[in-house]
């Protein structure tokens, strides 16, 4: 696990801040450290962010050839919901998975217009051109990210921002985050940065047939907060990413962000770096499921601006690795998951972060192949008991009992002498693996109460 961290130093406005892979960055720092120095953290905090994964796909008509989709003379416009507000803003763009430099010809950021049903609508009078080291065009090296120059722009808490990127030359779009909980993205021909809306324009299909629900290149949005602010990273799999939620603010990190940034609350940045299908210990062969959490912890937690806390909810996918020759589910052993969680806790503490352990939710009602068995349930219980009692975490968010309740057992669960714990059907988005909006509201409220020593109540419980 590579947890080397390149520190933040004084910003040089004459060039964009480029973050390179850690090993290369350290080598170059030895040659010319000030040229690659990052901006001072100060009061800059991340207000929205996601975890990038590889968009490399099988190349049509070329068996065994994989490549990222390309754009030329096209605009990608994306809407995101921020958490904490601020008076200045900057964005971070990613080419971590690219095999060649990526050039963004021009970019802009604007408040979303209050246009019902039109996620592409902006307020043109308040749109700002982004600059990178004082220049409108940016080239991001392969394997790197880049941060725009700050812009004076009031960003209210819990508001929507629209970021537009124009690619003039042929560009391989290798970094994305799949499966948003709502329509987020429009891809149209030409330079449409100043257009008030893209709703009436034909949508290009060059990126993906589901491009409207993916995020491309945009990894984070940072604001300059008025006062010291907590920044909380929700680090997990599809349950954190928000599978079966109906909107970004209905995921459990979205609920946490809403509660933490009401006018009566202290305010906090909340970043969702969940990846569907992600495992703690193993890289997934299906690239959108991302690299192992141990590998991505630096980029998706430690490197986020102003981060103070991380809530880890991982291990569900490690428990399910298909079925064995006898048709029984197989998965990681308890000690493998525990050792990995301990490594994350140690890494967080080494970087002076508070880390909070989330217990793995029950899934005895889920009917998907290779999930519930008495053995996997025993492993889940062992891991959860360790999370609660070992003292590796600064605190525990006990999601498991909060989500448990009456459910329809899977065939193996129904055969047990005592019915095992399962996700309450009223809080499940499927047959009992992922929560629905009600379940996520319970989770987000629980996380808020733990972090802020509050006693909020969700609209409805799971039991």
DSSP character string of 182-197: S--EEEEES--TT-S-
- Mapped onto helix, strand or coil, the DSSP state of residue 64 is coil
pLDDT at 27 over 60: no
| Alpha helix stretches (DSSP H) within 313-410 | 316-319, 334-350, 374-389, 399-403
Residue 66: predicted pLDDT? 76
Query: How many residues can be counted in the chain?
Result: 463
List, for residues 320-365, the tens digit of each pLDDT value.
876 666 666 678 999 999 999 999 999 999 999 999 999 999 999 9
Q: Which single residue is written with the structure tokens 């569907």?
A: 276
List, for residues 166-221, the tens digit of each pLDDT value.
999 999 999 999 977 889 999 999 999 999 999 999 999 888 888 899 999 999 99
Residue 23: predicted pLDDT? 42
pLDDT at 425 over 50: yes
List, for residues 91-133, the tens digit of each pLDDT value.
999 999 999 999 999 999 999 998 778 999 999 999 999 999 9
Q: Which single residue is written with the structure tokens 């009566």?
A: 264
Residue 24: predicted pLDDT? 40
- pTM, full prediction: 0.90
d(CA 155, CA 225): 10
Candidates 456, 458, 343; CA nearest to 393 is: 343
- Percent of the chain residues topping a pLDDT of 90: 77
List, for residues 363-391, the tens digit of each pLDDT value.
999 998 778 999 999 999 999 999 999 99
Residue 126: predicted pLDDT? 95
List, for residues 253-305, the tens digit of each pLDDT value.
999 999 999 988 889 999 999 999 999 988 888 889 999 999 999 999 999 99
Residue 16: predicted pLDDT? 67
d(CA 314, CA 65): 32
CB 251 within 8 A of CB 442: no
- Choose between 71 and 4: higher pLDDT: 71
Residue 116: predicted pLDDT? 76
Two tokens at 36? 């690659």
Question: What pLDDT band is residue 34 in, cutting at 50, 70 and 90?
Answer: very low
d(CA 451, CA 449): 6
d(CA 283, CA 358): 21
d(CA 215, CA 43): 26
Q: Is the dihedral of CA 165, 180, 458, 306 positive or negative?
A: negative
Residue 15: predicted pLDDT? 56
pLDDT at 162 over 90: yes
- Mapped onto helix, strand or coil, the DSSP state of residue 420 is coil
- Mapped onto helix, strand or coil, the DSSP state of residue 138 is strand
Measured between alpha carbons, how far apart are the two ends of the chain, in Å? 40
Question: What pLDDT band is residue 65 in, cutting at 50, 70 and 90?
Answer: low
Residue 103: predicted pLDDT? 98
3-state secondary structure 398-414: CHHHHHECCCCCCHHHH
Q: What is the mean pLDDT of the chain?
A: 90
């Amino acid at each position: 696990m590579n947890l080397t961290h390149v520190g933040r130093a004084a910003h040089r406005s004459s060039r964009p801040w480029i973050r390179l892979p850690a090993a290369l960055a350290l080598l170059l720092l030895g040659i010319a450290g000030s040229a690659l120095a990052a901006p001072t953290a100060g009061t800059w905090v991340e207000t929205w962010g996601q975890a990038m994964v590889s968009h490399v796909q099988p190349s049509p008509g070329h068996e065994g050839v994989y490549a990222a989709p390309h754009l030329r003379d096209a605009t990608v416009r994306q809407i995101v919901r921020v958490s904490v507000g601020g008076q200045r803003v900057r964005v971070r763009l990613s080419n971590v998975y690219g095999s060649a430099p990526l050039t963004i010809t021009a970019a802009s950021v604007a408040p979303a217009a209050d246009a019902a049903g039109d996620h592409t609508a902006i307020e043109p009078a308040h749109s700002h051109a982004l600059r990178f080291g004082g220049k409108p065009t940016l080239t991001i090296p392969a394997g790197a990210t880049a941060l725009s120059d700050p812009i004076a722009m009031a960003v209210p808490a819990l508001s929507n921002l629209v970021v537009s990127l124009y690619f003039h030359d042929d560009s391989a779009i290798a970094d994305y985050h799949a499966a948003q909980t709502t329509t987020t993205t429009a891809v149209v021909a030409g330079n449409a940065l100043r257009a008030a809306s893209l709703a009436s324009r034909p949508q290009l299909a060059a990126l993906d047939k589901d491009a409207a629900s993916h995020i491309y290149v945009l990894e984070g949005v940072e604001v300059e907060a008025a006062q010291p602010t907590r920044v909380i990273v929700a680090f997990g799999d599809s349950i954190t990413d928000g599978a079966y939620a109906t909107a970004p603010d209905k995921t459990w990190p979205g609920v946490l962000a809403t509660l933490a940034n009401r006018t009566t609350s202290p305010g906090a940045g909340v970043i969702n770096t969940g990846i569907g299908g992600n495992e703690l210990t193993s890289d997934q062969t299906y690239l959108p499921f991302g690299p192992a959490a141990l590998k991505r912890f630096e980029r998706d937690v430690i490197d986020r601006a102003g981060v103070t806390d991380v809530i880890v909810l991982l291990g569900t996918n490690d428990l399910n690795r298909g079925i064995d020759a006898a048709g029984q589910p197989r998965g990681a052993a308890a000690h493998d998951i525990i050792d990995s969680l301990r490594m994350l806790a140690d890494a967080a503490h080494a970087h002076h972060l508070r880390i909070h352990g989330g217990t793995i939710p029950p899934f005895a009602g889920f009917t998907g192949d290779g999930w519930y068995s008495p053995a996997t349930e025993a492993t889940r219980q062992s891991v959860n008991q360790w999370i609660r009692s070992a003292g590796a975490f600064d605190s525990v968010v006990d999601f498991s009992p909060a989500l448990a309740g009456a459910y329809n057992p899977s065939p193996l669960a129904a055969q047990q002498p005592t019915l095992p714990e399962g996700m309450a059907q009223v809080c499940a988005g499927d047959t009992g693996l992922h929560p629905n909006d009600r379940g996520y509201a319970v989770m987000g409220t629980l996380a808020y109460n733990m972090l802020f020593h509050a006693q909020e109540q969700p609209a409805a419980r799971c039991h």
